[in-house]
Structure 1
Amino acid sequence: MENRYGPNSYDCSSSVYYSLIAGGFLPEQNIIGNTEGLFGDLERHGWQQLKASNGYFDTHRGDIFIWGDRGSTAGSAGHTGIFVDNDNIIHCNYGYNGITVNNHDTIWGYNGKPTINIYRYGGGTPTSPKPNPPANDVDYMRKYGQVRWNQKIIKVDDHTRFQGILQVISNELSGLTPSNHTTDTEWLNNGVPMAGISWADGTPNSSTEGKTFRFDQDVMNIVDYDVPSNGIAVMVAGYKVWVDATFARKA
């Protein structure tokens, strides 16, 4: 997989998200989340989790499966796809290096028979109450595991060469209190490498004097979280940058 956002490659969860959005089961503006975030997104949009009867699920075409225990299915720990009939699934998978149709129980067995969760649109009986909404913006972003910047234009408040790297500081992006001096700690934690941005105000990219910018990478995985500072960390041009979770959520 080179890019989970298509159109030439996906992963298991992004392919399900795009299918649900295309079918009108999720709103167009819904973020393309991961396997862990899929639980909540399904429950918020009319999908209900089915109960097994004597260890057996009476699956139908259109049902969605999620493998793994809720709370620990992010990344390779979980898997998801859609039933095309009672027994077979369509899913994006590593084993076949693409999107294939396979017998569910066969593939499930090959993968060690993880916990099965089945969701059906508008049917079934919920097995547990809906989770409480996130208590803060860091936890909200943690559900999705990524930031989509939507080509947002961000204001530059300072720029310098710090530890040999040309960087900018944006107070709104970082959640910093405006001041006349950017500290070394702020440059270390919140400095954005110019190698990962493009000026949005017409300034030539060969210049270091831009006043506003966009990130070159519009979707970024979140690599760290800090609730006390309302911070989440992303990688920009190979460097870890802490940004304000509220600003990222509203991007």
Structure 2
Amino acid sequence: MARTDVENREKPSKDGGLYETVKVIIQALLIAVVVRTLLFQPFNIPSGSLIPTLLIGDYLFVSKYSYGYSRYSIPFSPPVFNGRVLASEPKRGDVAVFKLPKDNATDYIKRVIGLPGDRIQMRDGRLYINDQMVERQRIEDFVTTDSWGRQVPVPQYIETLPGGVKHRVIERDGDKGYWDNTYVYTVPAGHFFMMGDNRDNSTDSRDESSVGYVPFENFIGRAELIFFSVKEDSAAWQFWKWPWSVRWDRMFTRVR
């Protein structure tokens, strides 16, 4: 007996179901690409250069719209255009993700210390901007890892940058570390001077052969929010360890 039109309508074809599934997947991927390119991108912290602000094992969202968009805002950084569109320059004190100028490929995260035209210098562990010593206030010690892998208390300070941004820094080797005495760096136009808050354990703009001055075009975005954090000796995918490995007190905290 031939099937009626009603029976045919009640049984959707397998081909139609497959098409709908593929369409949903493609739409979801397109939405993810748009969000990642224009709005927010997740990053994780693999090193301790921004301790105590960011810890190894922190996962955070970076706002892509904060500084406008360059080719580095797009996945795989295709050379579709030069410079930035809808540009807004980083502010002193921002914690920002950028492409390492040396290879234009490696993601780095540091704090914006020097703006175009600024003169930056370290003297006996103290930061000078335009010949003015930046204010800092000693607070309780911070426990971190020394050069031999031991847990030790180290000096911790609240540093107040010109403009009023306050943030914490540590001096793992006191005020006599390798980068605690430098010559004067003059930041070129269109570039920024980046430093880690872990002043004696950060490869940053003080090391011109490794990082140096960062072009505005290389900025990806500003660090905004820690959405997840696990202890340094744990992995995020080991969910069965989360009750003990997750740093619950760091969840959904602003990056400052």
TM exceeding 0.5: no
Q: Which has the higher helix share?
A: 1
- Give the alignment's TM-score, normalised by structure 2: 0.28
Bigger relative contact order (CA 8 A; separation at least 6): 2
- Give the alignment's TM-score, normalised by structure 1: 0.28
Q: Whose Rg is larger?
A: 2
